[in-house]
Amino acid sequence: MKTALITGITGQDGAYLAELLLEKGYMVHGIKRRSSLINTDRIDHLYQDPHEKNVRLKLHYGDLTDSTNLIRIIQETQPDEIYNLAAMSHVKVSFDTPEYTANADGIGTLRLLEAIRILGLEKKTKIYQASTSELYGLVQEVPQSEKTPFYPRSPYGVAKLYAYWITVNYREAYNMFACNGILFNHESPLRGETFVTRKITRAVAAIASGHQNCLYMGNLDAQRDWGHAKDYVEAMWRILQQETPEDFVIATGKTTSVRDFISMAFSEVGIAIAFKGEGINEKGFVAACSNPDYQLEIGKQVVSIDPAYFRPTEVDLLIGDATKARTKLGWEPKYDLKALVSEMVETDLNKVTAYAQMSVGQIHSYINRFEER
Ligand code: NDP
Ligand code: GDR
Assess whether the C-beta atom of 192 lies below 6 angstroms from ligand 1: yes
Which residue of the set 156, 164, 170, 355 is catalytic? 156
Query: What is the full DSSP assignment across 144-205?
Result: B-TTSPP---SHHHHHHHHHHHHHHHHHHHH---EEEEEEPPEE-TTS-TTSHHHHHHHHHH
For residue 160, the number of C-alpha atoms closer than 13 Å in the C-beta half-sphere is 30
Longest dimension (CA), the chain: 66
Ligand 1 atom nearest the C-alpha of 14 is: 25
Q: How far is the CA of 110 from the centre of ligand 1 (A)?
A: 16
Q: Give the burial class of 282: count Cβ atoms within 10 A of its Cβ; 0-12 exposed, 13-18 middle, 19 or more buried.
A: middle
What letter would DSSP give residue 257? Answer: E
CA dihedral 350, 356, 360, 364 (to 10 degrees): 10
Position 47 confidence tier, pLDDT thresholds 50, 70, 90:
very high
Ligand 1 atom nearest the C-alpha of 9 is: 9
Give the percent of the chain with pLDDT over 70: 95
Question: Residue 361 pLDDT more than 80?
Answer: no
Question: Residue 218 pLDDT more than 80?
Answer: yes
What letter would DSSP give residue 309? Answer: G
Assess whether the C-beta atom of 32 lies below 6 angstroms from ligand 2: no
Residue with CA at minimum distance from ligand 1 atom 40: 185
Position 373 confidence tier, pLDDT thresholds 50, 70, 90:
low
Assess whether the C-beta atom of 95 lies below 6 angstroms from ligand 2: no
Q: Which ligand is nearest to the CA of 198?
A: 2
User: Looking at residue 117, what is its pLDDT?
Assistant: 98
Question: Residue 370 pLDDT more than 70?
Answer: no
Position 277 confidence tier, pLDDT thresholds 50, 70, 90:
confident
Assess whether the C-beta atom of 46 lies below 6 angstroms from ligand 2: no
In order of their start, the domains of the chain are 3-183 (3.40.50.720), 196-223+257-314+337-367 (3.90.25.10)
Q: Residues 345, 204: contact at Cβ < 8 Å?
A: yes
Position 368 confidence tier, pLDDT thresholds 50, 70, 90:
low
Q: Give the burial class of 23: count Cβ atoms within 10 A of its Cβ; 0-12 exposed, 13-18 middle, 19 or more buried.
A: exposed
User: Looking at residue 212, what is its pLDDT?
Assistant: 92
Assess whether the C-beta atom of 188 lies below 6 angstroms from ligand 1: no
User: Looking at residue 353, what is its pLDDT?
Assistant: 83
Bridge partners of 128? 83, 179
Give the lowest-confidence range in 21-35, 38-52, 230-244, 343-357.
343-357
**pLDDT tens, position by position, 103-136:** 999 999 999 999 999 999 999 999 999 999 999 9
Question: Residue 36 pLDDT more than 90?
Answer: yes
Q: Is 134 a catalytic residue?
A: yes
Which residue of the set 10, 132, 197, 256 is catalytic? 132
What letter would DSSP give residue 111? Answer: H
Residue with CA at minimum distance from ligand 1 atom 6: 8
Q: How far is the CA of 74 from the centre of ligand 1 (A)?
A: 19
When the pLDDT of each residue in the chain is averaged and rounded to a whole number, the result is 95
User: Looking at residue 362, what is its pLDDT?
Assistant: 67
Q: How far is the CA of 85 from the centre of ligand 1 (A)?
A: 5
Pairing of strands 223-224, 256-257: antiparallel
Residue with CA at minimum distance from ligand 1 atom 5: 11
Give the lowest-confidence range in 68-72, 288-292, 341-345.
288-292
Residue with CA at minimum distance from ligand 1 atom 47: 33
Q: How far is the CA of 366 from the centre of ligand 1 (A)?
A: 22
Mean pLDDT value across residues 271-285: 91
Q: How far is the CA of 311 from the centre of ligand 2 (A)?
A: 10
Burial 181-202 (b: 16+ CB within 10 A, else e): bbbbbbbbbbbbeebbbbbbbb
Tell me the H-state helices in 291-358: 323-324, 337-356
What letter would DSSP give residue 296? Answer: P
User: Looking at residue 355, what is its pLDDT?
Assistant: 73
Q: Is 216 a catalytic residue?
A: no
In angstroms, the CA 338 to CA 342 distance is 6
**pLDDT tens, position by position, 177-203:** 999 999 999 999 999 999 999 999 999
Mean pLDDT value across residues 305-313: 96
Q: Which ligand is nearest to the CA of 60?
A: 1
In angstroms, the CA 68 to CA 85 distance is 19
Q: Is 141 a catalytic residue?
A: no
Question: Residue 4 pLDDT more than 80?
Answer: yes
Residue with CA at minimum distance from ligand 2 atom 8: 195
Question: Residue 365 pLDDT more than 70?
Answer: no
User: Looking at residue 279, what is its pLDDT?
Assistant: 80
Please determine, for the modelled complex, whether the ipTM score is greater than 0.85. yes
Mean pLDDT value across residues 81-102: 98
Position 354 confidence tier, pLDDT thresholds 50, 70, 90:
confident
**pLDDT tens, position by position, 68-88:** 999 999 999 999 999 999 999
Question: Residue 154 pLDDT more than 80?
Answer: yes
Spatial CB neighbours of 259, under 8 Å, sequence gap ≥ 6: 220, 221, 275
User: Looking at residue 238, what is its pLDDT?
Assistant: 98
**pLDDT tens, position by position, 226-236:** 999 999 999 99
Assess whether the C-beta atom of 14 lies below 6 angstroms from ligand 1: yes
232 SS3 class: helix
Which of 12, 91, 256 is the best mutation target for the ligand 2 pocket, counting ligand atoms within 8 Å of the beta carbon and taking the most?
91
User: Looking at residue 259, what is its pLDDT?
Assistant: 98
